[in-house]
Structure 1
Amino acid sequence: MTTETIARSDRRIVTLDVIRGVAVMGILSVNIVDFSMMQAAYLNPAAFGWPDPASLAVWIANMLFVDGKFRTLFSVLFGASMLLIIDRAERRGESGWTVHWRRMAVLLVIGAAHAILLWRGDILTLYAITGLIAFPFRKLATEKLVAAGLSFSLFNLILFAAIGVTLLRQDVQAHAANADPLDRLNWELNLSSFYPPADDVAEDRAVYGGPWTGIVKHQAGEATDVLTNDLLLLPDTLGLMLLGMAGLRSGFLTGAWDDRDYWRIVRLGIPIGLAGFGALVIVDIASRFYMPTLLTGFESLMVPFRLAMASGYAALLILLSRNMGWIVQRFAAVGRAAFSNYLGTSFVCTFIFYGWGLGWYGKLTRAEAWLVVPFVWLLMLLWSKPWLDRFRYGPFEWLWRSLARLEFQPMRKSGREAAA
């Protein structure tokens, strides 16, 4: 079976798997900060003081090449896969809505359990909620899906620009001579967490360096606040999912376009993205990571540059997937088991950093913590393909599918399937 035939078959679309695999791996490059140290450091690399040269270099590299781009790809692929599953269900005569809401309901439960029992950085709950909202858009024509997706991205840009302006005003007012106590309180509520005092850092290290029960209690207590903050990303996530639907419908994500068109997107998208993020890096360092500037730049002004660069990455990965060599097959397998790899990453990294495991939390610099990333990448590449050579689904894909369909799904491949 040729690559083109596989890409057009009803079983798998290889380009989706490859992009999803690279995306779930790339996300870890920035998420490792949230696994290894206080959340304030995720956005503010100077949260605990000016970073050492190696940590600053890691932050710059992530900001230029990774941060935001792979989350964009992951969200786009979620939208594309969601539409694919709904369309296939309806072609089988099933109710697309029933299949969809069951999948999202199970995902919501798994995401909530993940966020409370394991890792505070969960994105599955946001995806489940956004996925339910995205369902009515599925019948739109490709052009209207693109327009709707970009509209939500524009809304996200305006929203975070307004938030940035508000934070700037609060910072100025709180530190003015004879500042109003209310202004100081607003600053404490909205900005002080990005500049944590030593007592807060010590308390955070005590929680995540302590027993699992203490971590669960802490994360359960913060669940509502975390979800509220996550929902600020809902417009952006919804827009990306709709663009993913458009990418599937148009044939862009399935590899149906001409190579010259993909190369054109690569040559335009990646340099444009690098130019924008390069300017942001310069501004952030020059401002000494002033939080209103950093947040506004990354979450608002970089929206078009992030979309451009993610599109360039997607086009490049599609071109590379034309040749299904062994390394492409490995990345495709990671993508087929992306749900298991995402949750598996949380198990591995929380074991390495949290107190119930090795207890490295808060003890490493950003650069030192990042050295864990290639090790986890290697694990993903090593286990995914051998597992999927023998089984139809990754472990958590099987669980998700079985719970959503209310019956255990066949797991082990037949001899003929394994040989295919």
Structure 2
Amino acid sequence: MAQYPSPLKETSRLQWIDEARGFAIFGIFVVNIGAFNAPYFLYGGEETAWTSSIDHTLRLIIDIFFQASFYTLFSLLFGFGIQLMKERLEMKSLSVFPILGRRLGALICFGLVHAFLIWHGDILLTYGLIGLLLLAFLNVRGRTMLSWAFLLMGMTVGLLSISLYQFREYIGQPNLFAAEQALSNYQSGNLIKVWEQNYVDWLYANEGISYLLLIGTLLPLFLVGMYIAKQRWLHEPKKHQATLRRLWFVSLLLFAGIKAGPYLFGNPAWFSMIQDNIGGAFSALFYIISITFLSQMEGAKKLLLPFRYVGRMALSNYITQSLVCFLVFYLFRLYGAMTPVGLMLMVLVVYSMQAAFSRRWLTHYRFGPLEWLWRSITYKRIQKLRRTEQEV
């Protein structure tokens, strides 16, 4: 009789990984909502749109603590999850490559819908496509993974930073025509114009060498996530406490130095690749280890519960955030109308509602709705969604 993977029991899950995933969903929303609300994050020109001191302060906080810190965190968790799934499939003597291939294929399909019908800033399509490259690394040694990660990230960030420095005088010029065109189309209330502009924005963000750069920066993070899972540092944090403490301290220093340090020198635009990709990677490592430590403390467990519920339904909540933003900014025609303060209030309200809903949903169901669909496609078998009376 064929075996099918069963859902992980509550006691078998690494709760701090769910919490880190939920925290990543919060941070991603903080960053994404600005790009959902206005064209300045893609085309530049925000300095002329948001001029108050509180606007500048919020932008500074987001740039240091959120920008490039949470997609990197989610990327580490993505690689971590791939490695966990591989190990679990092997324990059940199931074929790893076909199942992971279907899982990534389904993610690509989710991404296509999200990228072209909801928001050009989608990451699912990119994760699915680059994730296929991970299949080539499933059976390599941990050190080999780490070597490839350092090589790819070092070459990509190093070469591009040298190029940016050489042309530093031409960096940062806003594309005002494109920004005005985006404002006009997204504020029109016309769904066809919204989708056309969304497609233009997607091409602008992803054409040419951009996808190659994504491979050079995301694939290394996936590989580091797989390496961490292979080492089992986060499986048994008490056993590996000394290693984790060293990593926590080093990542904190590099996070602070690379992400915040440039502001002491005017935050030069040419340094952005190092600031975002290297600094962002260390900030992600700092966050995930911090959450792991906090999750072991009785006093902090209740504070982390909302993140855990959201993290268990990460895909559903990510898409829901985009749907809410699509409704508010495009259909209600509030695109470009909200200030950074208003956006952060919206993030807190929406995320709080998601945490409450996720908790309620998971009381009665095993997976989030999109997680259930994703899992059913992955295993070519309809999964049991509703919990039994004993599980409830």
Alignment equivalent of 1:207, drawn from 166, 179, 185: 185
Match of 1:253 among 234, 254, 258: 234
The structure-2 alpha-carbon separation of the partners of 1:44 and 1:281, relative to structure 1 and needing over 3 Å to count, comes to: farther
Structure 1 partner of 2:286: 312
The residue matched to 1:361 in structure 2 has which SS? coil
Q: Which residue of 2 aligns with 1:120?
A: 120
C-alpha distance after superposition, 1:217-256 (max 9, x if no partner):
3323554444333442221100000000011111123243
Identity in percent:
24
Tell me the number of residue pairs that the alignment of Structure 1 and Structure 2 aligns: 380
Paired residues of 1:255 and 1:318 also in contact (CA < 8 A): no
Counterpart of 1:19 in structure 2 is 20
Change (3 A) 1:136 1:368: same
Q: Partner of 1:181 in structure 2?
A: none
* Distance in 2 of aligned mates of 1:27 and 1:368: 17
Query: Does structure 1 conserve the Cα–Cα contact (< 8 Å) formed by 2:149 and 2:223?
Result: yes
- 2:329 maps to a residue whose letter is F
- Measure, in 2, the Cα distance between the counterparts of 1:222 and 1:128: 20
3-state secondary structure, aligned to 1:416: coil
Q: Note the C-alpha offset of 1:11.
A: 4.5
Preserved CA contact (<8 Å) 2:69 2:276: no
* Native 8 Å contact 1:104 1:128 kept in 2: yes
Correspondence 1:287-366 to 2 at 5 A: 293-294=268-269, 296-323=270-297, 325-354=301-330, 356=331, 358-366=332-340
The residue number in structure 2 matching 1:279 is: 261
Residue of structure 1 in register with 2:362 after alignment: 388
AA aligned to 2:110 is I
Cα root mean square deviation, aligned = 2.6
Separation in structure 2 between the aligned mates of residue 168 and residue 384 of structure 1, nearest angstrom: 46
Q: Is the Cα contact below 8 Å between 1:47 and 1:195 reproduced in 2?
A: no
Give the deviation of 1:8 after TM superposition. 10
Unmatched tracts of structure 2, length 5 or more:
1-7
Partner Cα distance (2:306, 2:50) in 1: 39
Match of 2:206 among 217, 227, 231: 227
- Separation in 2, partners of 1:308, 1:222: 29
Cα pair 1:65 1:274 within 8 Å, conserved: no
- Check conservation: 1:45, 1:59, Cα contact below 8 A: no
**Separation in structure 1 between the aligned mates of residue 275 and residue 200 of structure 2, nearest angstrom:** 33
Counterpart secondary structure, 2:274:
helix
Q: What secondary structure does 1:233 align onto?
A: helix
Tell me, which stretches of 5 or more residues in structure 1 are unaligned? 1-6, 172-190, 286-292
Question: Structure 1 residues 48 and 400 mapped into 2: Cα distance closer, same or farther (>3 Å)?
Answer: farther
Q: Is the 8 A contact 1:111 1:124 kept in 2?
A: yes
Secondary structure of the equivalent of 1:93?
coil
Question: How far did 1:202 drift?
Answer: 3.1
Determine whether 1:37 maps to 2:15: no
Range with greater deviation from structure 2 (249-258 or 341-350): 249-258
Cα distance per residue 1:250-307 (max 9 Å; x no partner): 112324343344333333322331122222234346xxxxxxx42x322135543333
Q: Which residue of 2 aligns with 1:267?
A: 249
Is residue 150–residue 220 contact of structure 2 (8 Å, CA) maintained in 1?
yes
Whichever residue aligns with residue 304 of structure 1, its letter is I
The residue identity in structure 1 corresponding to 2:259 is F
- The equivalent of 2:221 in structure 1 is 240
Tell me how far apart the structure 2 counterparts of residues 50 and 387 of structure 1 sit (CA, whole Å).
39
Q: TM-score, normalised by structure 1?
A: 0.83
Aligned to 1:371, the other structure's residue is in SS state helix
Q: Is residue 2:105 matched to residue 1:105?
A: yes
Post-superposition shift, 1:327?
3.0
Matched residue SS, 1:393: coil
Query: What letter matches 2:252 in structure 1?
Result: I
Report the counterpart of residue 132 of structure 2 in structure 1. Answer: 132
Q: Using the alignment, how far apart are the partners of 1:149 and 1:359 within structure 2?
A: 43
In structure 1, distance between residues paired with 2:41 and 2:202: 19
Q: Which amino acid aligns with 1:239?
A: P
